[in-house]
């Protein structure tokens, strides 16, 4: 009885050491980012290049933009890498971020069923949304305060539609990430607004296709911000800044442009020189 209990404790200690020791030596930063950058596979392409060059591991926690900013507000990330300009500027104004740098953009696309019963297909996103609303065709919204959700709400407003007034069974708020929302839309054959990266990497499309794309209003700007060390003293200032500087450098920008799925470029670097 006693020896077995002692060996159990030894085992426990070994487990703990194994867990904490695994990465204790590594230099790393924590980046709060969006599901679109993670699920599109961009980070899977970008981060190994960076880690190989600098020896710094980048740990990405993929959340909606709103949640990512909140995580940083609590001090649980060193860098945020998101896509909702208004929310990012508010974040900086509150003193949580040092400086916002534009990194790249991708674009949103309007997805819908192949037969497009609402006749939303076209070159104008606002027109497409108006037709969906007029037909009360099923529309899936992220409803999760993400950057994509914020963009969608902006488009409804710009289209002159008061969502609160016209909301009904046709408008479904899922409160989920881009992928789950796409799964929901494909199972209900519904319309939705998505980012191109996640769409290109998404496999469960069933009868969905792109209906509206290329409208300049659909451009989706990504920004990167160092969390303010004045608010959270443990923020890894140097390592975080080093990552940001690399993203906007010629080398980082090229790495972003190089990421393609099926020959198609997903993100377009546009950092200011």
Partner 1 sequence: MSTLSEAFSTSFALMGGLDAKLLGIVGLSLKVSLTAVLFGSLIGLPLGAAVAVGRFAGQAPVTVLLNAFIGLPAVVVGLLVYLLLSRAGPLGQFGLLFTPTAMVIAQTALITPLIAAFTRQIVADAWREYHEQLQSLGAGTLRATFTLLHDTRFSLVTVVLAAFGRAIAEVGAVMIVGGNIDGVTRVMTTTIALETSKGDLPLALALGLILVGIVVVVNASAHLTRQWAQRHYG
Distant-in-sequence, close-in-space partners of 240: CB < 8 Å, separation ≥ 6: 29, 78, 79, 226, 227
Is the four-CA dihedral 46, 50, 51, 56 of positive or negative sign? negative
**Residue closer to partner 1 (CB basis): 23 or 90:** 23
Distance CA 192, CA 185 (A): 7
Judged by beta carbon, residue 127 or residue 173, the one nearer partner 1 is: 173
Residue (of 46, 64, 81, 48) closest to 227 by Cα position = 81
Question: Which C-beta is closer to partner 1: that of 46 or that of 118?
Answer: 46
Closest approach of partner 1 to the CB of residue 183, in Å: 6
Nearest distance in Å: CB 135, partner 1: 26
C-alpha–C-alpha distance, residues 225 and 214, integer Å: 28
What is the nearest approach in angstroms of partner 1 to the Cβ of residue 91?
A: 15
For the bound state, the minimum distance from the C-beta of residue 227 to partner 1, rounded and expressed in Å, comes to 10
H helix or E strand, kind and range, residue 62: strand 56-63
> Is the Cβ of residue 175 or residue 214 nearer to partner 1 in the bound state?
175
Beta bridge partners of 208: 113
Residues that bind partner 1 (CB under 8 A): 1, 8, 11-12, 15-16, 18-20, 22-23, 30, 35, 38-39, 43-44, 47, 57, 59-62, 73-76, 177-180, 182-183, 186, 198, 201-205, 232, 234
């Amino acid at each position: 009885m006693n020896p077995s209990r002692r060996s159990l404790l030894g085992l426990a200690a070994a487990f703990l050491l194994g867990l904490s020791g695994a990465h204790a030596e590594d230099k790393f930063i924590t980046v709060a980012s969006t599901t679109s950058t993670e699920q599109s596979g961009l980070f899977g392409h970008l981060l190994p290049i960076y880690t190989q060059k600098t020896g710094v591991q980048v740990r990405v926690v993929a959340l909606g933009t709103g949640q990512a900013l909140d995580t940083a507000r609590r001090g649980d990330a060193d860098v945020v890498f998101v896509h909702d300009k208004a929310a990012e500027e508010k974040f900086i104004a509150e003193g949580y971020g040092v400086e916002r740098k534009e990194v790249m953009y991708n674009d949103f696309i309007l997805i819908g069923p192949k037969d497009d019963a609402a006749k939303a297909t076209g070159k104008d996103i606002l027109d497409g949304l108006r037709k969906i609303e007029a037909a009360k065709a099923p529309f899936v919204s992220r409803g999760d305060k993400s950057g994509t959700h914020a963009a969608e709400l902006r488009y409804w407003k710009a289209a002159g539609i008061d969502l609160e007034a016209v909301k009904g069974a046709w408008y479904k708020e899922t409160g989920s990430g881009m992928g789950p929302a796409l799964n929901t839309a494909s199972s209900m054959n519904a319309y939705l607004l998505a980012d191109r990266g996640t769409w290109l990497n998404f496999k469960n499309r069933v009868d969905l296709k792109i209906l509206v794309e290329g409208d300049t209003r659909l451009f989706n700007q990504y920004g990167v911000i160092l969390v303010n060390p004045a608010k959270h003293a443990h923020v890894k200032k140097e390592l975080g800044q080093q990552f940001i500087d690399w993203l906007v450098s010629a080398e980082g920008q090229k790495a972003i442009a190089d990421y393609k799925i099926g020959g198609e470029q997903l993100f377009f670097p546009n950092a200011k020189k």
